[in-house]
Amino acid sequence: MDKLLIEGGQVLSGEVAMSGAKNAALPILCASLLTAEPVHFTNVPHLNDISTMLRLLGDMGVGVTMDGVDGLVLNGGGLNNPVASYEMVKTMRASILVLGPLVARGGEARVSLPGGCAIGARPVDQHIKGLQAMGAEVKVEQGYVHAKATRLKGARICTDMVTVTGTENLMMAACLADGETIIENAAREPEVVDLANCLVSMGARISGAGTDVIRIQGVDKLHGATHSIMPDRIETGTYLCAAAITGGDIRLLKTSAAYLDTVVDKLMDAGCEITVERDAIRLVAPKRLKAVSLRTAPYPAFPTDMQAQFMAINCVADGVATIRETIFENRFMHVNELMRLGANIQIEGNNAIVRGVDRLEGATVMATDLRASASLVIAALVAQGETLIDRIYHLDRGYERIEEKLARLGASVKRVH
Ligand code: EPZ
């Protein structure tokens, strides 16, 4: 099992390019199931989760061809097996995103329930409720969701809570339904908008993506298209935090601050100077950050996927910060590991009180989930001495070549097998 060995104390500086967004690419690759024609994707990140999704789609009969460095052509014409097995789904819960497209295109899907993960139970009841509202007959048996429909019918759906992949699944299903579907209480995340833009380029008729009411006029079929995946705003935010904690000065390329307003605001509150360019963002950090409190909530509020990274920078900031996690019930797995590095954090329900300390000490720590791993990397960059991070397969799911990119910025980091 790979580990990351990080020597703290380097100040990050220089430039590095960001990759395409994992959480946009995952639903967008599933959109290839909605048409028999080839769909061409560019700026696809090289991540374990993406490889898993491509294996899953390949098992269903979708043709997958690489096209240059970050390009792919997916051909749903050969779809012949509407099953997502437990073996595949248990490694990546985003596999649930094949459910809507399979029912819409082929009238049937058998998708294993994803099961929980480190950060919470992560049920998919809203995905099922929406498909039932569109006329699908859905049974959950032996750990599988079995959905059937001759043709989905447009419906008005209001999800009980804001769900990103729930909104994405239902939006994809509605593209081929008979009539209009209205999704209320829809997720407004930029990745939902990127998916909608891809679907529209394939001939779908969608309006309101990015707001909490999305209208989809079903069509008989979709056609091929070319789509470039949007930049990864969470990867961008993660590197901004890495530079901020080290008092660094970095410029991130092939990205945009457009979808990071709340993260940029919080970094400025912490004392960073941020310059936004058309497709780059620069951060100059102070010697020591000021503590910043935050509360996670659906977009456009502060993203839960940046909560762990901000907890790390608060560990050595000047002051006390309160971090409230409102989306997932167990997204503080990084706290115990950060405390092994010397952090002073108290958990009270879904609040974490972080008292900034003067310095952290390197230690051996363990990654528990994707963004928790990122927070350990950020803390390790300033911990005195060496930090060894175990189980970094979590990191590889969502960060492309992280040790290379950090080393390019001056960090002392290496992967040990
Ligand atoms: C997406 O997960 C992201 N994953 C997550 O990113 C992100 O943390 C999350 O949205 C919130 O922004 C992808 O896009 C692939 P939700 P998702 O459905 O869609 C509850 C990362 O680190 N809920 O918006 O699974 C759920 O339990 C990952 O990149 C139901 O109860 O999250 C949670 O408490 C982690 N029933 C809340 O809603 C449902 O049917 C929001 O979950 C669906 C969700």
Instruction: Give the pLDDT of residue 387.
Output: 98
Instruction: Give the pLDDT of residue 121.
Output: 77
Confidence of residue 207 (pLDDT cuts 50, 70, 90): very high
Residue 35 CA to residue 79 CA, distance in Å, equals 9
pLDDT more than 70, % of the chain: 100
Q: Which residues are paired to 75 by β-bridges?
A: 38, 63
pLDDT tens readout for residues 20-74: 999 999 999 999 999 999 999 999 999 999 999 999 999 999 999 999 888 999 9
| 314 close to ligand 1 (CB < 6 Angstrom) | no
| 327 close to ligand 1 (CB < 6 Angstrom) | yes
Alpha helices in 205-297 (DSSP H): 233-245, 261-269
Instruction: Give the pLDDT of residue 69.
Output: 82
Q: What is the 3-state secondary structure (H, E, C) of 68-83?
A: CCCCEEEEHHHCCCCE
Mean pLDDT (whole number) for 243-264: 96
| 163 close to ligand 1 (CB < 6 Angstrom) | yes
Is 192 in contact with 210 (CB distance < 8 Å)? yes
List the one residue out of 167, 166, 179 whose CA is nearest residue 205: 179
Q: Which of 113-117, 372-376, 393-397 is the least confident region?
A: 113-117
Residue 150 CA to residue 167 CA, distance in Å, equals 22
Phi and psi angles of residue 406, each rounded to the nearest 5 degrees, phi first? -70, -40
| Residue with CA closest to ligand 1 atom 21 | 305
For the chain, the average pLDDT equals 96
Instruction: Give the pLDDT of residue 162.
Output: 98
Confidence of residue 394 (pLDDT cuts 50, 70, 90): very high
pLDDT at 115 over 80: no
List the one residue out of 115, 90, 89 whose CA is nearest residue 102: 89
Instruction: Give the pLDDT of residue 120.
Output: 82
Ligand 1 midpoint to CA 164 (Å): 6
30 given a catalytic annotation: no
Instruction: Give the pLDDT of residue 61.
Output: 97
Mean pLDDT (whole number) for 236-248: 98
* Residue-wise burial string across 132-162, b where 16 or more C-beta atoms lie within 10 A, e elsewhere: ebbbbebeeeeebbbbbbeebbbbebebeeb
Instruction: Give the pLDDT of residue 64.
Output: 97
pLDDT at 119 over 90: no
Residue 290 CA to residue 269 CA, distance in Å, equals 7
Instruction: Give the pLDDT of residue 88.
Output: 86
pLDDT tens readout for residues 123-174: 999 999 999 999 999 999 999 999 999 999 999 999 999 999 999 999 999 9
| Residue with CA closest to ligand 1 atom 9 | 164
